[in-house]
Amino acid sequence: MNKLEMTSRAQAVLRLNDAGEFTKPSALQYPHQWNWDSALIAFGLAHFDLPRAYTEIRSLLRAQWRDGMVPHIIYSAGSTDYFPPPEFWQTANLPHGSPLPTSGLTQPPILATVIRMMGNVARLGSPATQPTYHEFLREVFPHLLTWHRWLHSARDADGTGLPCLLHPWESGMDNSPLWANALDRITPRDLPPFKRYDAIHVAPDERPLAPDYERFVYLTDRARQLHWDARALLEQMPFLVQDVLFCSILHRADEDLAALAVELGEATHEIESWLQRTRKVFNERFWVDERGLYLDYDLRARAPIPVNANATFAPLYAGLASPAHATRLVKEHFDNPAEYAPGVNSKFRLPSVAKNEPGYSARRYWCGPVWIQMNWIIAQGLRRYWFATEADSLIHDALALMEQSGFREYYDPRDGSGCGSQDFSWSAALALDMIATRSEDSSGD
Ligand code: DGY
């Protein structure tokens, strides 16, 4: 497929899933608005319809909670075949909640980064788009600032300023083996009645297992009993982790937020203080020298989570890895065929979990499949250091997967067959960016 054909197919997916003011991640499986999906989708839209990209972000920020949190799901009226439904969260009428029906959780804060990148797209476009971008930026900046402030304070469980997650859904990597030990410690008693819909449109062996889902529901139930009160949640939620991917995305977004503040002539000292604090504590908290890996941290067990998932490469994207750590990550893990490199049991980069992890499973959601947005994030990280060839291999494989199997939610790393939902919006959105960026340095198809 040539670039023009792939571009028009990717745009068609975004149009297909367009619900007017937001874009569904996929028409049947995810009929509402998701936080980091919407941010990445907006970036794809910016490549061909900048005003629609602004609308996507405005509709996400309209749901911001009064305390600053930007929620992970914003419900649209009329869709009934998704669990959990809006009333399940019991978030309506909370004094610190949202004016709209939303979940009670948040998701990886990639939005400030996307908005900064959209500025580059606007600058490359017609001169008419530039004043509009500046106005848009002025409008959204206060929302970004309050969200980041909330992450660094309401979610600061240990005084480090590294936000913690209360539920696997907040990580975006719902059923990753990263959470297995923490979830195993939980016995889901007195579960409220619920019915899953997520394995109707997607093969059950590509979705989370029943024990994981029961714990997702149990944790939601615990949080709603605590009325989503920030302090009570930190004190009482049985699941409390600091995640390498989430903290890396936030740090990179803080860097981008500081740049946006400068562009607007706003003060940067508060953002600088977050940046400095994270630089001071990040490696001490997450780097495990014996394994040459960044590992998540379980605050309830007071111990690193000993699972090798591809989130371990995210500190490159945030510029938080030292040159020595970056080299070890690439040489000992990224290039290792037993873990992530093609050769043993895989053809495509980058499995979401190392292939030699006991919890690895090639087709099951976050237990092993390749995800397009992870390739996109980690490629940026590799380029930030000196690993351009490795970065190119991630973009090459992402495009090859989408060409072979369409814009799927995730892919089997062994043969590249598609898994999860079809016509998945952020895969299409990031394909548009990958094609545009690649065409700058190559003239052919
Ligand atoms: C789902 O429904 O699987 C989502 O990942 C929850 O956010």
DSSP string over 306-331? ---BGGGGHHHHTT-S-HHHHHHIII
Annotation says 390 is catalytic = no
CA 27 vs CA 7, 15, 196, 425: distances in Å: 20, 11, 17, 9
Gap between the Cα atoms of 352 and 314, Å rounded: 12
Annotation says 409 is catalytic = yes
Ligand 1 pocket, residue 255 CB under 6 Å: no
Ligand 1 pocket, residue 174 CB under 6 Å: yes
* Shortest-distance Cα residue to atom 6 of ligand 1: 169
| Locus of tokens 């499995």 | 351
So what's the pLDDT on residue 374? 98
Residue among 15, 48, 16, 199 at smallest CA distance from 122: 48
Ligand 1 pocket, residue 147 CB under 6 Å: no
Gap between the Cα atoms of 261 and 198, Å rounded: 40
Ligand 1 pocket, residue 170 CB under 6 Å: no
Gap between the Cα atoms of 107 and 415, Å rounded: 30
| Catalytic residue from among 67, 174, 357, 412 | 174
For residue 332, the 8-state DSSP code is I
Gap between the Cα atoms of 122 and 45, Å rounded: 12
Ligand 1 nearest-atom number relative to CA 72: 7
319 CA to middle of ligand 1, Å?
Answer: 29
So what's the pLDDT on residue 127? 76
| Locus of tokens 């890996």 | 293
Contacts of 177 by beta carbon, 8 Å cutoff, 6+ apart? 307, 309, 353, 357, 358, 359, 360, 367
Q: Find the radius of gyration of the CA atoms of the chain.
A: 20
CB contact at 8 A, 391 and 383: yes
Ligand 1 pocket, residue 409 CB under 6 Å: no
CB contact at 8 A, 198 and 30: no
Ligand 1 pocket, residue 67 CB under 6 Å: no
Ligand 1 pocket, residue 18 CB under 6 Å: no
335 CA to middle of ligand 1, Å?
Answer: 31
Ligand 1 pocket, residue 169 CB under 6 Å: yes
CB contact at 8 A, 186 and 215: yes
| Catalytic residue from among 18, 67, 212, 409 | 409
Gap between the Cα atoms of 139 and 283, Å rounded: 35
Tell me the mean pLDDT per 10 residues along the chain, length 445. Answer: 93 98 96 98 96 97 98 89 95 96 98 96 78 93 98 97 98 98 96 94 96 98 98 98 98 98 98 98 98 98 98 98 98 98 96 98 98 98 97 98 98 98 98 84 40
| Locus of tokens 């989130």 | 311
So what's the pLDDT on residue 444? 36
Ligand 1 nearest-atom number relative to CA 34: 7
CA 97 vs CA 39, 67, 93, 360: distances in Å: 21, 7, 7, 37
Contacts of 7 by beta carbon, 8 Å cutoff, 6+ apart? 431, 432, 435
Ligand 1 nearest-atom number relative to CA 73: 7
Testing ligand 1's pocket by substitution, the residue of 28, 29, 173, 174 carrying the most ligand atoms inside 8 A of its CB is 174
Testing ligand 1's pocket by substitution, the residue of 24, 26, 28, 30 carrying the most ligand atoms inside 8 A of its CB is 30
Ligand 1 pocket, residue 254 CB under 6 Å: no
Give the pTM.
Answer: 0.97
